Every structure is written in structure tokens, then in C-alpha cells.
Amino acid sequence: MSLSSLKTVSLQRFSLNFAANIIAAIWMLIGSTRAFSWVKPTFVQFACFALIALGSNVLFSWLAAESGSVFNEQGLVSYLIWPVIILLAGIILARRSGNQSLLFVPAVLWLVADSISALLQSLVQFFGTQNWLPDWSYSFLPVLFLVLFLWQTLALLWIFSQRLRTPWWERIIVLIGAVALLTIWQKNVADQPIFKPIPVEPILEEAAIYKQPELLQNALASIDASLLGKTEWYFMGVAGFAGQEVFRSEINHARELFDVRFGTSGRSLSLINNRYSWLDEPIATKTSILRGLKKIGEQMNSDEDVLLLTLSSHGNEDILQLANAPVAMDNLESAWLREALDEAGIRWRVIIVSACYSGSFIDELTSPTTVVITASAADKMSFGCTNSAEMTYFGQAFFAESLRKNTSFAAAFKDASLRIQERESMMGFEPSEPQMVVGSLMKTALPAFEQVLFDQQRALPPSAIVDTN
């Protein structure tokens, strides 16, 4: 059946034509030529869906935009290119077939499908702004949105090729060419959304350049020496990634927990990468971490005292990210950390790594006198490092909940692992599988160390205990 024989009869009421066009677009999206039986390609319907599609895409761009974004005319022009191309295709088809009713058919079908797609994307984006989506979905959604954009155009080409009865090889060539063209175009205009963030280069205040050495020196000077003949715990926390507040918050919560509940006040140190704390807290670099470990090693008794070292950041295999723009930093490698601990002369260690793939740190950090606790297995992601969170899933479960209710690291780890598993299961995440490894000598020594640590908590009056939740 040729395009010249295609007849479209408009209904009397605008609402009926509106509903018919939505049904037609749905038939088109599933590749059925029944779309031609439903489409009502009037100018009023074309204008209506053009406005709806434009509004839907503006809404999606607004929801997806970062705070402080501004309207971008280039993004609007980039979007309008495709409706105009589809309309021109309809004009050419109408003239070649001598069927003027075809004029708005491709444009109406495409605009309805685009409106549906943009509204769906807007809904998903809204869920994302409310933190109702699982973390793994954020890497999948851009691909989904690209597929939706491709699908509406490919479906339109498919039903027209069926109607024209073009050979199968021509259909394949056209579809492959369309996919290539649309994908390249979509990637090229990805940096031109309708609402575009104003690029802000990280700026380091002059005062911070001179303040940082003072902050680090003061922090190191505040670490007290241990008392001979008495086991004491030391705390050191490292927040590695400046771009998200959650890592700074997690380390500050952990330090507060140990200083207030477990008596490490005067024997604790925090190194924080955060864009807002340059004038308040020493930053976390390999240099400051090494200096911190050496100072603690000097102040503690290597035979009697224990260091609890906790690190929170993004991670990869054997890597913990250290980032605090505009300063260029080397990442922290597990082998380097082991060497730094050995050089500092710190014998008894409890090391907690809260990061994706943190289980990869275990092989390097394990020793007879070390406990290593990680938020995930070596090949697993951990979750909860969102901008709105105060702590990661692991940090919340281990520091804020389990350590406050148990009297051993093993019991706290088991409790936290169950809490994390329940939360990940509820969110549909792949299990992170937190790990705990206790060295051979530490297995014997740890109960005595734990008794000292948890006795500090039992000795506190209820009014002195600060809730870290």
C-alpha cells in the first residue's frame, strides 16, 4: 500500500484527536503500522504536541541541571533541529506522494513519542533528586535516555519503511545510518543542555596557602604522648574526596565517636579534603598522612598502644582517591599505606577502609598485629556516598549504630554487615560484602585492647554521651 493511498480523518473534538495521536505514537513505538490508522495530523495537533514536547524537554533539562545553572539558548536550538528535520521530511513525503494529509504525520508521531519520552525521563530525574533511585542506576540512566531518544526516531523510520515496502537491506542501511547519526549528534550536544551550569573553576584563597601548614602543625602538636604502662587508643581519620560532603561528615562522626565515647580526645587527628574547609582543617595528602602517622608513632608506645585508622573516600582496586581541587594530589595506594605504617613504627593497628573495592586493601595491609575492616569485597562497590547523606551505608551501620551497641569489633562488624545487607537488599543493590581480617597475634591481643576501649564508654555518665546519628 503506497503513501498516496493513506487517508487520515480528523475527529470532531480536539480531545479525541489528542488521545488518538497518543495511541498512534504507542503503536509506532512498538513498530506497528497501525499507527497510521490512529494518527490525526492536523496543524492544531502538531502545534499542541510541539509545545508539549518542548516543555517536557525543558522540564527534564531543568530537573537534571545542577544548582546555579542558567538557560542556554544553544541547547534550545540544538533540540529544535530534530523536530524541524522531521517536519521537512513530512513536507517532502507529502509532495512526492501527492498526499497533503502526510504533511504533519511524521512530525506528530515523533513529537508525541518525544513528549512521552521526555516526561518519563523527567519523572526518573525527579526520583533521582529525591534520592529514591538505587546508586547503580545513575551509571545506567544516561544509556537508557540515549536509547529512548534513538528508539522514537528508529520506530518512525521503521513504520514508514514498512508502509513503503522497502527491501530489507535498505531498511537495515537506513536504520544503521540513523543510529550512527543520532548517537554522534547526541554526544556532541551533550554539553549543550537547555539549562547549563556556569563553569566555576576551583579557587584556592591566598590565606589557605599560609593557613594549611599552621593547621597541620597545630593538629600534630595537639597529639598527646601516651602514659607508660597504660594501654591507650589513638585515632586517625582521612576523608579523601573533596567533591562530596559525605566523606568529611563520616570522618568527623567517627572521630567524635572515638573522642567522646572511647576516650581518644587528645590522641586523635583528622585530615580532611573538602572544598569548604581549607581554613579550618588540615587537608589529606600523602605528605600530611605520612607526617600524621609518624607523629602518632612517636607519641604512642608501640608495645602497649593501638591506632585506629579509618579512611573514607571513593576507591578502586588498591587505590583510595585523594582529591581536593585545585591542588593536584596523588591517590593513596594500599602498598604505600602499609609502608608508611611500618616506617612510623606503629605495631598494633585497626584499619577501617570505607570505599568501593576496599577489600583490595586487605592483602597489603594484613599483618599479625593488624585488624583490617573494609566496606566491601575487593571486587564489589559500597554504597551511600551521595551528596545528601551524612554517612555512607557502611559508616552509618558500623560507626553510628553498631559500635555504640557492642563491646567488640567482631560483634560490631557482624551487626553492621547484617544492617548493610538488609539496606542493600531493600534498595536492590548488589551486596557489597564487607570484610574483616584479624592477624594471628591480634587475635590474642585484641580482647584486652577492646576491654580498654569499651571500658571508656561504660565509664561515661549518660549525659556525657553524644549521639553521633
Q: What is the DSSP track for 334-345?
A: HHHHHHHHHHTT
Is the residue at 62 inside a domain? Answer: yes
**Same domain, yes or no: 179 and 213:** no
Q: Report the alpha-carbon distance of residue 456 to residue 201 in Å, rounded.
A: 46
Find the mean pLDDT for residues 17-24: 95
Crossing angle of the two packed helices 137-164 and 105-129, in degrees rounded to 10: 170
Domain closes at, from 196, 221, 238: 196
Is the residue at 201 inside a domain? Answer: no
Find the mean pLDDT for residues 262-282: 94
pLDDT of 454 higher than 50: yes
**Same domain, yes or no: 237 and 146:** no
Nearest Cα neighbor of 297 from 232, 336, 342, 230 is 342
pLDDT at 466: 45
Contact status, residue 425 vs residue 278, Cβ threshold 8 Å: no
The tens digit of pLDDT for each residue in 179-220 reads 787 777 666 666 778 888 776 677 888 899 999 999 999 999
**Same domain, yes or no: 181 and 231:** no
Find the mean pLDDT for residues 321-334: 94
**Same domain, yes or no: 253 and 271:** yes
pLDDT bin (cut points 50, 70, 90) of residue 23 is: very high
pLDDT bin (cut points 50, 70, 90) of residue 404 is: confident
- The pTM score is 0.66
Is the residue at 107 inside a domain? Answer: yes
Cis peptide before 282 (omega within 30 of 0): no
Find the mean pLDDT for residues 330-354: 97
Q: Where are the beta strands (DSSP E) in 36-131?
A: 70-71
Joined grid coordinates for residue 215: 593547621
Give the DSSP letter of residue 205: -
Domain range spanning residue 107? 3-196
Domain closes at, from 196, 220, 239: 196
The residue type found at 219 is A
pLDDT at 455: 80
At 270 the three-state DSSP class reads strand
More confident residue, 202 or 398: 398
Find the mean pLDDT for residues 7-16: 85
Burial class (CB in 10 A: 0-12, 13-18, 19+), 135: middle
**Number of helices and strands (H, E) in the chain?**
15, 11
Find the mean pLDDT for residues 250-254: 96
Across 148-179, b (16+ Cβ under 10 Å) vs e yields bbbebbbbbbbbbbebeeeeeeebeebbeebe
Least confident of 132-141, 159-168, 216-225, 408-417: 132-141
Is the residue at 469 inside a domain? Answer: no
Residue 15 — φ and ψ, nearest 5°? -65, -35
pLDDT bin (cut points 50, 70, 90) of residue 278 is: very high
Contact status, residue 207 vs residue 345, Cβ threshold 8 Å: no
pLDDT at 9: 78
At 187 the three-state DSSP class reads helix
| Beta pairing class for 233-239 and 306-312 | parallel
Crossing angle of the two packed helices 168-188 and 137-164, in degrees rounded to 10: 140
pLDDT at 291: 97
Is the residue at 189 inside a domain? Answer: yes
User: Which residues does 254 contact at the CB level (< 8 Å), separation at least 6?
Assistant: 235, 237, 310, 312, 395, 399
Contact status, residue 17 vs residue 10, Cβ threshold 8 Å: yes
The tens digit of pLDDT for each residue in 224-236 reads 999 999 999 999 9
Joined grid coordinates for residue 318: 588498591
**Same domain, yes or no: 106 and 211:** no
pLDDT bin (cut points 50, 70, 90) of residue 465 is: very low
More confident residue, 126 or 365: 365
Domain closes at, from 170, 196, 222: 196
Q: Report the alpha-carbon distance of residue 76 to residue 194 in Å, rounded.
A: 5
Least confident of 36-50, 53-67, 137-151: 137-151
